[in-house]
Structure 1
Amino acid sequence: MRYYALSALFFMMSTLSPRADAQSVTYRSFDHYNDRVAEFDKMRPVDSTDVVMLGNSLTEFAGDWNKLLGAKHVRNRGIAGDDATGIYHRLSQILPGRPKAIFLMVGVNDISHDLSAAEVFAQCKKVIDKIRTDSPHTKLYVQSLLPINEGFGRWKTLEGKTERVAEVTRLIRRYCEAEKISYINLFRYFNRHGTNELRPELTVDGLHLSPLGYKIWAFHLKKYFK
């Protein structure tokens, strides 16, 4: 499995040919982002029968969410290294189809950009608000961030930010509760008891999940697909 370092961002501009059902996506970002956006543009457009898993590497590396969840019409729209701004820009590939539901996880890569918890929350809120405004009949599920484990020493851009992940998670949860947005608290199933640290058996590198981590994530999502 190939991992894309959060700190290794090779910037470029990419403009995709527009389709009748979606605007073109133009975002100054890294190669993998543009490659994935181009892939998505060639696929069957998202429509009202689809459930979209939307996020970063944690979402992308799950692979086939249909298999994980025992479901149908689940589309993986994760991009490794993506942040809230990147997700915001590519909503034009998703929202015109008015998907049945979106499961959003966003924020950890924004934390790696040395933003404060409040700044990260503001970026995440923009994504949440745009989904609700542009596709109000789509059922939105906002998932919490997952904890990290700095003990692996892998992600230098996340050093010293274990508590910031928890703080951003709290801000997102409070906003969702205040706005009556469906919120899924996954954090509590992944942290080591009494800490905000990711359980080591659930990760391969302190950030990305092990097969057991994905099984736990899927287990807690399956009830939303019944």
Structure 2
Amino acid sequence: MRNYLMKKKNFIFFVSLLISGCQVFNSGNSSKPINMYPPKNIKIKFQQDWQYNLYHKRIIDFKKFPIGFKKIVFLGNSITEGARSWNKRLNQRNIVNRGISGDITEGVLERLGEIYYYKPLAVFILIGINDLFDTNIENGEVINPKYVANNIINIAKNIKAESIHTSIYIQTILPVNLDMYELVKNIKLDREKDLNTQIIETNTMLKTVELPVGIHIIDTHKEFLDNDNNLNEIYSSDGVHLNEEGY
């Protein structure tokens, strides 16, 4: 237990140092582009109906409460959104939550306009689990670790190309605990490929690819593993999402 608490404190301290190091000047633009947010009629590759509804509901919120200048952006899916206020969790005042429940890498690629405009101090990216989870959709056979890793890398590269002074941190995809998920959801998953294996393959590509200067990898995956290389139950509410201990 003592080692666990020390490990947790060290990781929180590490992330806090990264965020504190981003507190530098970053100038903005003077006029807003027309395409800052994706239109409601946009067709996003592999996005399902339930994801479409959550996506555009959040986009409406983003329009009401834009990022602003000199901010740090947490970009991702329900794991990011579910933290609610990252400022309270990390004792900061300029973090903006840009998580969307159910979002996929293609969805993030289509909503980078706001980030291009405001040019944040830093962007922390955690995305990809929903891509790998739903490979049983139409044409989903092309959604493999290489596809997901390439999309994540392109998200980071696209941001860097439009905002050269933004520090970018790609977080490795968290593990899952499908036994816990099936128990909590009272369902039986029918998968041809092991999800945790696909996650590890994706993360390995992220960690071994040569990235441009200013794009960094944070190996969050290893911090959440149990002895069986699943998501540790003490960190999760259902085997996929995080609970308060996880955050």
Q: Tell me whether 1:187 sits opposite 2:199 in the alignment.
A: no
Distance 2:169 2:152 in 1: 13
Q: What does residue 99 of structure 1 align with?
A: 120
The alignment partner of 1:38 has SS state of helix
1:20 to 32, 48, 53: 32
Tell me how many residue pairs correspond in the alignment: 193
Distance 1:48 1:20 in 2: 12
**Contact 2:115–2:159 (Cα < 8 Å) also in 1:** no
Gapped runs of 5+ residues in structure 2?
1-30, 136-142
**Contact 1:203–1:210 (Cα < 8 Å) also in 2:** yes
* Greater CA drift, 113-122 or 66-75: 113-122
The alignment partner of 1:103 has SS state of strand
How far apart are 1:157 and its partner, in Å? 7.5
Q: What does residue 78 of structure 2 align with?
A: 57
Distance 1:22 1:72 in 2: 28
Question: Which consecutive aligned stretches of 4+ in structure 1 deviate over 6 angstroms post-superposition?
Answer: none
TM-score (norm 1): 0.79
Counting only pairs closer than 5 Å after superposition, residues 109-128 of structure 1 correspond to structure 2 as 109-114=130-135, 115-128=143-156
**Contact 1:166–1:196 (Cα < 8 Å) also in 2:** no
Distance 2:78 2:190 in 1: 15
How far apart are 1:129 and its partner, in Å? 1.4
Larger Rg: 2
The alignment partner of 1:52 has SS state of strand
* Greater CA drift, 161-170 or 77-86: 161-170
**Contact 1:105–1:142 (Cα < 8 Å) also in 2:** yes
Letter in 2 for 1:201: I
The alignment partner of 1:94 has SS state of helix
Distance 1:20 1:35 in 2: 21
1:175-217 deviation line (CA, Å, top 9, x unaligned) = 2x55452111111110113x43100111111100011000xxx
How far apart are 1:21 and its partner, in Å? 4.5
Give the share of equivalent positions with the same residue, in percent.
29
The alignment partner of 1:90 has SS state of coil
How far apart are 1:95 and its partner, in Å? 1.8
Distance 2:132 2:190 in 1: 8
TM-score (norm 2): 0.73
Distance 1:157 1:68 in 2: 36
Taking only aligned residues, the RMSD between alpha carbons, in angstroms, comes to 2.0
Q: What does residue 219 of structure 1 align with?
A: none
Q: What does residue 32 of structure 1 align with?
A: 54
